[in-house]
């Protein structure tokens, strides 16, 4: 390309600018000149190219450029290669992805892909790869695939086409429809041109992470090519790097094979790995040869771990890795530590690795932060019961001098190791309290939440934890996280040490009170909860606690003020049972995956190729090995499993919610989109509890509608699955089953209907009907499971069908006298009564709220009895539930709304306790979703 004088002068002027202001003035002046030139109709191709180049340079410097888009498209449509080249570059840098002009660029790309000039075709492929919009993925994928599969195409074009497909696949996996062409690209792994083989292998590796078993054939081509390179001594012209044949291709092939089970190829693979390891014993003569050899060697060891980790080959590899982690080369140490961490995460016996524990610990003090991080990963992976105390002690010792970027990860791993391998309760408490004191500023609340959770679940820990908590409060320095743990533990179990010397209730209160002035607002909130619990635990210091709470009733912070006012009001109510009920000891938290482990796994950052292992012990990697690569990171391919199950909120839990760290009992954090979708699904579910048709689920890809007809004790449920995506969905399956295995509810597909279609086009709809029969009153709603495949990604939806025992209800009209006689009779017998007080803020703001309550009662199958209650707004209703085997059950309902207090009391009395609970639960969910 010939130099452009105007562009050269402009760049020189910008380089001479001495300040940012001078540069902006020069840029604004040039922008004004370019706008004037673009308005002229006589602008030739050379000047257009020159001015667009200036705009590109301004954009690269960070200046905002919002002109020249049309001129860039004009250059793209030019017949000259130099102008077309600048046009595509400008289109990728200046034109926004959603611009209308991008469609013109896509049209030009399609035209250039079929040009007879090979350079033009390659230019179009490079431009499509750089721009890589969704429109390009949807419109040009088939054209690019044809270029790759064309028998007469040049190797240069095939290589560009493979890399273009790889880019589009990574950005928009659902738009490229990989399942239609993935198997056809596998044979090109054996292409005579090494560049094509390398590009196609990269593409197949990405496909293997999504398609799984469908790409199994690729392993045969990979093993065949490796055998020719390693065992047969194939010397590929122009691709022998310092005596190593095609090292980049070897690395790609070895990495690809890690996504498949070896099967019958295991002996041949072990022979290839043995040759690679044996050749690595020879000392490289030059640095470049060493880099190439070691790159192949480390990937071979990773494959060996995947193929057969228990063979003697891996013990020999451990000796090699031990030599590498002591190397003087930083890169070699890094790779040695990373590969040894992989070995430690998968091998059964850690003895070959433990012999290097001192060297690994010393690597924590390496000059390079990446080496220090890999050393931490290795120590975490190699830790077991015998080495836990030594490793944890070393990590705590190093934490004081560790980098701030490394300290949070180190704290998480120390907390996980301490909990996992603790054999003594005292050791666990000592380590965790020291941990929050050392690294409290560099870790999230998950750590202290987990400490509290473990202490609550182990009675043997509680006494010792109280003593350490009091000592921590009395220490000269007490970190905020340590203060939260101590306050929470003493508030729950302070009575266990109340009789010990120096641990009297007054001593505990003074130690806690002394920390309040310097504490942060969240820590004060936890401490106030502990003080409130003292009023219940220790009546002798109740007045002192009330005095402290009274001081905070005038706090400037709204959270502290509200807590103090509510706790003070609860403690001063003249009721002997209220205070013990509200401030009773928290129950143990249910067993589930540690939030610390979830947080650590979320920090794992992979490159574009998914890793086949995670840092940690053999247990977690064994569980991963049972899943396909596409399932391990579903976000990479669009595959997912959603479980949306509406749940009722217990009214009694509201009073004690402030007394515990709420995030301890919450699932892993959801994205705002997921939270919004779950909230919408709960509203849809609640609406279908009293209406006969509506939407059950509304997602980004599909929508599920429902229609129900009830004729107790039978019903027919119609479900409608709509495709909202821009692509067809296939492998559709819609199944419903009762959650109760006792046979109280029978649900099966209706026989008089068409079969569910295998595929569904965009905006298409499939329907299926289920026949339901209620044999007896059942406690749990049935489960609906919908599975389908979109763009090669399997998706499973698990939903609860809004079909409960309360739905098999018929309205019955009785007199007022009969109602109250029956109401009194059921109340005295205590056969089945369910009562709840629910928050209903909409009563005060909505004038039609009471009428809405009446509509809900009628929609649930109750007959309203007018004039039965002295208060006009109160609702009195009667219904009878019918079952096939157990007969009929009467159900009476009273709803007493209090708009002035935004509360509503519901009382259900029935001749079956399960029915009463089902009705109350449905009403509670309907109110919550309002």
For 181, the token pair is 């062409």
Radius of gyration for the chain, computed over Cα atoms and rounded to the nearest angstrom: 35
37 is in an annotated binding site: yes
For 459, the token pair is 């009675």
119 is in an annotated binding site: no
Q: Give, in degrees to the nearest 5, the angle at Cα 366 between 360 and 368.
A: 125
CB contact set of 765 (below 8 Å; sequence gap of 6+)? 720, 721, 722, 723
Element (H, E) at 238: none
Tell me how far apart the alpha carbons of residues 338 and 297 are, in angstroms, rounded to a whole number.
13
50 is in an annotated binding site: yes
573 and 579 Cβ atoms separated by less than 8 Å:
yes
53 is in an annotated binding site: yes
204 is in an annotated binding site: no
The separation between the first and the last C-alpha atoms of the chain, rounded to the nearest angstrom, is 67
Residue in 406, 443, 407, 450 with CA at minimum distance from that of residue 596: 450
551 and 543 Cβ atoms separated by less than 8 Å:
no
884 and 815 Cβ atoms separated by less than 8 Å:
no
For 286, the token pair is 């030059």
CB contact set of 388 (below 8 Å; sequence gap of 6+)? 417, 418, 420, 421, 422
Q: What are phi and psi of 865, to 5 degrees?
A: -105, 110
For 899, the token pair is 């708009």
Which residues on adjacent β-strands are paired with residue 795? 640, 788
In the block, tokens 């197949």 appear at: 204
Tell me how far apart the alpha carbons of residues 70 and 77 are, in angstroms, rounded to a whole number.
11
46 is in an annotated binding site: yes
Tell me how far apart the alpha carbons of residues 904 and 295 are, in angstroms, rounded to a whole number.
70
Tell me how far apart the alpha carbons of residues 703 and 341 are, in angstroms, rounded to a whole number.
45
The DSSP output letter for 284 is P
The DSSP output letter for 188 is G
For 249, the token pair is 């291709």
Rounded to 10 deg, the angle between the 480-493 and 521-537 helix axes is 10
Q: Helix or strand or coil: residue 795? A: strand
66 and 38 Cβ atoms separated by less than 8 Å:
no
774 is in an annotated binding site: no
Residues belonging to the binding site are 37, 46, 50-54
């Amino acid at each position: 390309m010939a130099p452009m004088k105007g562009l050269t002068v402009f760049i020189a002027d910008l380089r001479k600018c001495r300040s940012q202001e001078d540069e902006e003035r020069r840029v604004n002046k040039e922008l004004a000149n370019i706008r004037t030139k673009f308005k002229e109709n006589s602008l030739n191709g050379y000047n257009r190219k020159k001015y667009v180049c200036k705009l590109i340079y301004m954009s690269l410097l960070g200046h905002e450029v919002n002109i020249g888009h049309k001129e860039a498209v004009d250059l793209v449509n030019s017949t000259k290669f130099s102008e077309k080249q600048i046009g595509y570059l400008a289109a990728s840098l200046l034109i926004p992805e959603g611009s209308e002009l991008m469609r013109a660029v896509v049209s030009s790309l399609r035209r250039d892909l079929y040009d007879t000039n090979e350079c033009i075709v390659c230019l179009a492929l490079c431009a499509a790869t750089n721009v890589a919009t969704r429109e390009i993925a949807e419109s040009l994928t088939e054209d690019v695939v044809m270029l790759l599969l064309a028998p007469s195409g040049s190797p240069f074009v095939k290589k560009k086409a493979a890399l273009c497909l790889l880019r589009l696949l990574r950005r928009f996996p659902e738009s490229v429809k990989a399942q239609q062409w993935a198997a056809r690209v596998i044979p090109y792994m054996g292409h005579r041109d090494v560049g094509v083989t390398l590009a196609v292998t990269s593409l197949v590796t990405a496909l293997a992470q999504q398609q799984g078993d469908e790409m199994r054939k690729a392993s045969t081509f990979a093993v065949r090519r490796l055998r020719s390179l390693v065992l047969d001594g194939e010397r590929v012209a122009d691709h022998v790097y310092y005596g190593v044949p095609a090292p980049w291709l070897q690395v790609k092939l070895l990495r690809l094979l890690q996504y498949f089970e070896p099967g019958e190829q295991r002996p041949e693979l072990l022979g290839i790995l043995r040759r690679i390891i044996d050749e690595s014993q020879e000392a490289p003569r030059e640095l470049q040869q060493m880099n190439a050899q070691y790159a192949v060697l480390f990937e071979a060891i990773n494959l060996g771990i995947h193929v057969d980790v228990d063979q003697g080959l891996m013990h020999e590899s451990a000796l090699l890795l031990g030599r590498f982690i002591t190397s003087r080369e930083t890169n070699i140490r890094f790779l040695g530590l990373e590969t040894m961490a992989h070995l430690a995460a998968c091998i059964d016996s850690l003895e070959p690795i433990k012999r290097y524990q001192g060297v690994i610990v010393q690597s924590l003090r390496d000059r390079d932060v990446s080496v220090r991080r890999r050393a931490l990963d290795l120590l975490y992976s190699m830790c077991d019961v015998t080495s836990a105390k030594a490793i944890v002690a070393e990590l705590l010792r190093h934490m004081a001098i560790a980098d701030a970027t490394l300290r949070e990860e180190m704290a998480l791993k120390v907390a996980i190791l301490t909990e996992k391998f603790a054999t003594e309760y005292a050791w666990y408490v000592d380590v965790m309290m020291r941990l929050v004191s050392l690294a409290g500023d560099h870790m999230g609340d998950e750590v202290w939440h987990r400490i509290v959770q473990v202490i609550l679940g182990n009675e043997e820990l509680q006494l010792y934890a109280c003593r350490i908590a009091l000592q921590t409060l009395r220490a000269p320095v007490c970190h905020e996280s340590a203060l939260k743990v101590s306050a929470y533990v003493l508030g729950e179990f302070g009575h266990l040490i109340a009789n010990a010397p120096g641990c009297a209730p007054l001593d505990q209160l003074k130690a806690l009170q002394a920390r309040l002035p310097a504490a942060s607002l969240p820590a004060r909130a936890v401490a106030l909860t502990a003080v409130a619990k003292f009023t219940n635990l220790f009546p002798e210091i109740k007045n002192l606690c009330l005095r402290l709470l009274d001081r905070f009733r005038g706090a400037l912070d709204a959270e502290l003020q509200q807590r103090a006012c509510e706790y003070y009001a609860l403690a001063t109510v003249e009721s002997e049972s209220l205070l013990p009920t509200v401030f009773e000891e928290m129950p143990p938290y249910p067993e589930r995956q540690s939030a610390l482990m979830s947080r650590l796994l979320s920090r794992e950052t992979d490159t574009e190729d998914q890793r086949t292992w995670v840092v940690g012990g053999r247990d977690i990697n064994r569980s991963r090995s049972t899943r396909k690569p596409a399932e391990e990171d579903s976000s990479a391919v669009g595959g997912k499993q959603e479980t949306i199950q509406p749940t009722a909120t217990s009214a009694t839990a509201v009073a004690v919610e402030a007394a515990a760290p709420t995030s301890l009992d919450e699932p892993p954090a959801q994205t705002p989109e997921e939270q919004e979708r779950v909230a919408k699904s709960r509203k849809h579910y609640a609406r279908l509890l009293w209406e006969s048709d509506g939407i059950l689920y509304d997602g980004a890809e599909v929508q599920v509608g429902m229609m129900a007809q009830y004729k107790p004790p039978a019903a027919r449920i119609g479900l409608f699955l709509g495709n909202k995506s821009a692509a067809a969905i296939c492998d559709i399956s819609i199944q419903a089953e009762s959650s109760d295995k006792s046979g109280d509810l029978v649900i099966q597909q209706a026989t008089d209907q068409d079969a569910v279609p295998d595929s569904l086009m965009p905006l298409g709809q499939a329907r299926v009907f289920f026949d339901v029969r209620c044999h007896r009153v059942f406690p749990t709603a049935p489960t609906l499971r919908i599975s389908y495949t979109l763009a090669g990604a399997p998706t499973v939806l698990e939903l609860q069908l809004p079909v409960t025992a309360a739905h098999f209800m018929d309205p019955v009209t009785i007199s007022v006298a009969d109602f109250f006689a029956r109401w009194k009779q059921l109340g005295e017998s205590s056969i089945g009564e369910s009562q709840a007080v629910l928050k209903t803020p909409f009563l005060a703001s909505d004038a039609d709220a009471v009428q809405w309550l009446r509509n809900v009662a009628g929609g649930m199958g109750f007959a309203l009895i007018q004039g039965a209650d002295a208060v006009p707004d109160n609702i009195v209703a009667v219904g009878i539930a019918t079952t096939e085997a157990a007969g009929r059950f009467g159900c009476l309902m009273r709803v007493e709304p209090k708009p002035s207090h935004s509360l509503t009391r519901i009382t259900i009395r029935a001749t079956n306790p399960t029915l009463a609970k089902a009705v109350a639960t449905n009403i509670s969910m309907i109110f919550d979703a309002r």
